[in-house]
Amino acid sequence: MSSGFANIPKTAPFSEEDVALLNRVVGPANAVQRAWLAGFLAGVESATGQQAQPAAPARPAEPLTIVYASESGNSEKLAGDIAKAARKNGLKPNVIDMADLDLAALTSAKKLVFIVATWGEGDPPARAVRAYNELMGEGAPRLDGVEFGVLALGDTAYAEFCAIGRKIDERLAALGGKRVVDRVDCDLDFAEPAARWIGDAVKVLTPPNAGGRVIEVDFGGKPAAPASTDIVEAEITEHVDLNSSRSDKETIHLALSFENGAPAYQPGDSLDLYPENDPDYVDELLKVAGLTGDEKLRNDFIKSRDVTTLSLKTVEAYAEKTGHHYVKALIADGQAREWIAGRQLIDLIATFPIALDAEKLRALTRPLAPRAYSIASSRREVGDEAHLLISAVRYESHGRARKGVASNYVAERLKKGGRVRVKLKPNKHFALPAPDRDVIMVGPGTGVAPFRAFVQERRATEASGRSWLFFGDRTFTHDFLYQLDWQDALKDGALTRMDVAFSRDTPEKIYVQHKLWDRRSELVGWLDGGAYFYVCGDAKAMAKDVRAALVRAFADVKSLTPEAAEQAVVTLEREKRYLQDTY
């Protein structure tokens, strides 16, 4: 009879021969023999007094339910961090993605932690929408006496800063939960405040006398080590504007090569790119602040401070630090929130000038954050390279021409042969399915980037599943991103079908959602056959319109009520066959 014994791992603190010997003895032992051995060794240890505390706490470890709502992985990573800390403290963590949350599970939780990001314009992360609505809805269960704490992730640049974390925190209390850890709202530089909150939360949630020192035992058979997410420097080997010179857009195809091998990325992952600010903007900012000539500050501002974002927090800090009468009045009148819309730090200082020293000005800024870009290549096809597709953000507001920091750093100041710092941002929630499954990919504009990676991967792995791409942009002639790639893929079979929507080529604007509607019967046929549906790109309008089009397609093709059609899409989401990476 097999004992089901896993081999003693090579990492065990024994010589190679000892490991072989132990495997020979313990390997064929039956369950009773192994249990006896374990007890015997534990007894010897405690008798000699030099143990190695008992691994098991005196009483069963108390469960801690950790729910995270994440889009780009930050909350998910922190959920892992708190689980680790909780386990060390003798708690028994159970980590749940809010996408999979069954609210009934919360009622049996005694201790509960939510780590929650806010997306869109104060919305929950896409995967968490269903559970979030249920939690906010009338049918949510009572949580009387459940001890809870909420950690909120967000970005002060958004008007609805940490709105979802705030709402969940309020809701848990309204449902009878007992807040035992105060909520902390984290900005983009969340590492330190989040670590502090985790430390505090675990301390508060650990019952007295729980745990003791817990020995972590390596039973071998670990999953593969996660891909390195260190910041690495890459060389730019291609820098090409994919729009024609007559387009009013500029979208850069950037090929990066890595000296020590590309980060171990998978199709669907992104790279965080570390930008620098536009020196012209920084010079203008220093000029309006009366600090021209401060080279140290100038350098710091170009390389490492966020000098464009204007948040409510910044306006409040400005009023407090300078005592500026008008800025104080703006806040007191409740008009500051409206005033900052479409404005940047430079507008605040230019409109309400006051003598500032370098320290005061610097204190108004936060660290310059990296920007994420979907990887547009597969390592199977491009080896030690990674490709990105970056659209230059340019617009005008309040009479001033504005430029997105990172996209214009790439478009205007990075050149072939130059170098840039990047970091892998894995996204296991936007991965390809098994090679024999069909995939439908909806990616207008730069949303098409990950699908270039998907198509390359499917070609390299000779995937048998079919692939269907919906792409859209402004004009066929000037904005058909990666047109030749798609033509090649259609020829060699890596892409089975492609539908395009060029919004400015016809008097009536046509978008990808219109193409989905046109092809609705085949679309529903593919989905009924098990196809995966992917959406990438604009979150504000496109992603919502695409989802609505799919609901209507189900209703029409299968003669369903709107409610039943909505349920069909919810089922796809629950089965993780409707996947989004939108921004």
Ligand X SMILES: Cc1cc2nc3c(=O)[nH]c(=O)nc-3n(C[C@H](O)[C@H](O)[C@H](O)COP(=O)(O)O)c2cc1C
Ligand Y SMILES: Cc1cc2nc3c(=O)[nH]c(=O)nc-3n(C[C@H](O)[C@H](O)[C@H](O)COP(=O)(O)OP(=O)(O)OC[C@H]3O[C@@H](n4cnc5c(N)ncnc54)[C@H](O)[C@@H]3O)c2cc1C
- Please state, as a whole number, how many other Cβ atoms lie within 10 Å of the Cβ of residue 282: 22
Report the residue from 114, 148, 161, 470 that binds ligand X according to the rule CB under 6 A: 161
Establish if 119 lies at the interface with ligand X (CB under 6 A): yes
Residue 391 in the binding site for ligand X (CB under 6 A): no
Rounded (10°) angle between helices 562-574 and 129-136: 120
371 binds, among ligand Y, ligand X, none (CB under 5 to 8 A by kind): ligand Y
Is there binding between residue 446 and ligand Y (CB under 6 A)?
A: yes
For residue 211, state whether it binds ligand X (rule: CB under 6 A): no
Minimum distance between the CB of residue 389 and ligand Y, rounded to whole angstroms? 5
CA–CA distance, 38 with 174 (Å, rounded to integer): 48
Angle at 444 between CA 441 and CA 446, to 5 degrees: 105
Q: Which of 81, 134, 160, 200 binds ligand X (CB under 6 A)?
A: 160
The residue length of the chain stands at: 583
Can you spell out the DSSP letters for 382-414? HSSEEEEEEE--EEEETTEEEE-HHHHIIIII-
Taking the least distance from each CB to ligand X, the nearer of 119 and 471 is 119
51-70 positions binding ligand X, by CB under 6 A: 70
Q: At 21, list the tokens.
A: 């010997």
Among 86, 117, 307, 469, binds ligand X (CB under 6 A): 117
Give the x/- contact pattern for ligand X in 524-553, rule: CB under 6 A. Answer: ---------------x--------------
What CA–CA distance (Å, rounded) separates 363 from 27? Answer: 63
Cβ count within 10 A of residue 277: 23
Residues in 324-383 that interact with ligand Y by CB under 6 A: 342, 371-374
Give the separation between CA 412 and CA 392, rounded to whole angstroms.
Answer: 9
Quick one: which segment of 59-67, 174-182, 356-364, 385-393 binds ligand Y (CB under 6 A)? 385-393
State the pairing for strand pair 231-241/394-397: unpaired
Residues paired with 92 in a beta bridge = 63
- Closest to ligand Y by CB, 331 vs 406, is 406
Tell me if 407 contacts ligand Y by CB under 6 A.
yes
> Taking CB under 6 A as the rule, does residue 395 contact ligand Y?
yes
Residue 342: which of ligand X, ligand Y, none does it interact with, CB under 5 to 8 A by kind? ligand Y
393 binds ligand Y (CB under 6 A): yes
Question: Quick one: what does residue 268 bind among ligand Y, ligand X, none, with the CB cut-off 5 to 8 Å set by partner type?
Answer: none
42 binds, among ligand X, ligand Y, none (CB under 5 to 8 A by kind): none
Which burial class, exposed, middle or buried, applies to 110 when counting CB atoms under 10 A from its CB (0-12, 13-18, 19+)? middle
Which of ligand Y, ligand X, none binds 160 (CB below 5-8 Å, type-dependent)? ligand X
Q: Does 270 bind ligand X (CB under 6 A)?
A: no
* Binding window for ligand X (CB under 6 A); candidates: 121-129, 141-149, 223-231, 323-331: 121-129
CB 10 within 8 A of CB 219: no
- Number of Cβ atoms within 10 Å of the Cβ of 7: 15
Whole-angstrom Cα distance, residue 66 to residue 81?
Answer: 11
Residue 158 is a binding residue for ligand X (CB under 6 A): yes
Contact with ligand Y (CB under 6 A) among 118, 311, 391, 580: 391
Compute the C-alpha angle 61/62/66, nearest 5°: 120
Q: Is residue 74 involved in binding ligand X (CB under 6 A)?
A: yes
Provide, rounded to whole angstroms, the least separation between the CB of residue 406 and ligand X.
12
Which of ligand X, ligand Y, none does residue 75 bind (CB under 5 to 8 Å by kind)?
ligand X
First to last CA, the chain: 55
* Contact in structure between 538 and 445 (CB atoms under 8 Å): yes
Q: Quick one: 556 exposed, middle or buried, by C-beta within 10 A (0-12, 13-18, 19+)?
A: middle
What are the residues binding ligand X (CB under 6 A)?
70-75, 117-122, 125, 153-155, 158, 160-163, 188, 539, 583
Binding site for ligand Y (CB under 6 A): 72, 270, 308, 342, 371-374, 389-391, 393, 395, 397, 404-408, 446, 449, 581, 583
